[in-house]
Amino acid sequence: MRNYETFSTTADSGIRFQGGDFRELYGNALRALNLLLFGRNPRRGAGGEAVTFRFRGDGPENVLVNFLAAVLELAYRDGRRVSAVDFRHAGRRRLEARLQLAPRRGSPRVEVKSVTYHNLRVSEKNGVLRAAVVLDV
């Protein structure tokens, strides 16, 4: 596996990602979600608008679900794509970041209803954090 990829299940889609630390893990989760929603090479948007994301949870799984749900909300409700992330803090139970936004051109390729906790577990092996998230489509 590269640092991120998409996969299909019987009725849903998912993303797999990894990183050497939580910044990389959360950043690659965003890249994988953008790949699923917008394809391999989405056009870069002009702008520079940013929003702050802050979340404190009981573990990295909770942080991931809430982070990805916020990205989906920006895409579907606000018509904007998160093109980059500037992490202020990325840890096991807390994420604070500035999300750089770009206009969403066209509709996402996949209609995602929600981010799920189905079989979600962040694991570490040989210093690499790994996770897979199933998305309800």
Confidence of residue 107 (pLDDT cuts 50, 70, 90): confident
Percent of the chain with pLDDT over 90: 76
Q: What six digits make up the tokens of 119?
A: 């079989």
Kindly compute the dihedral angle of the four CA atoms of residues 12, 136, 76, 43, in this order, to the nearest 10 degrees.
-30
Q: Give the three-state DSSP class for 93.
A: coil
> In CATH, what number is assigned to the domain containing residue 120?
3.55.10.10
Instruction: Supply the mean pLDDT for the chain.
Output: 91
Residue 91: count other Cβ atoms within 10 Å of its Cβ. Answer: 15
Strands, E assignment, the chain: 4-8, 13-19, 50-56, 80-90, 94-103, 114-115, 123-125, 128-136
Greater pLDDT, 23 or 1: 23
Structurally, the chain folds into a number of domains equal to 1
Q: What is the DSSP letter of 43?
A: P
Least confident window among 92-101, 102-111, 114-123: 102-111
pLDDT of residue 16: 96
Query: Could you tell me the residue range of the domain that residue 87 belongs to?
Result: 4-136
pLDDT in tens, 20-69: 999 999 999 999 999 999 987 655 555 679 999 999 999 999 999 999 99
pLDDT at residue 10, as a whole number: 73
For residue 7, CA distances in Å to 15, 32, 36, 113, 121 come to: 6, 10, 9, 16, 16
**pTM listed for this prediction:** 0.90
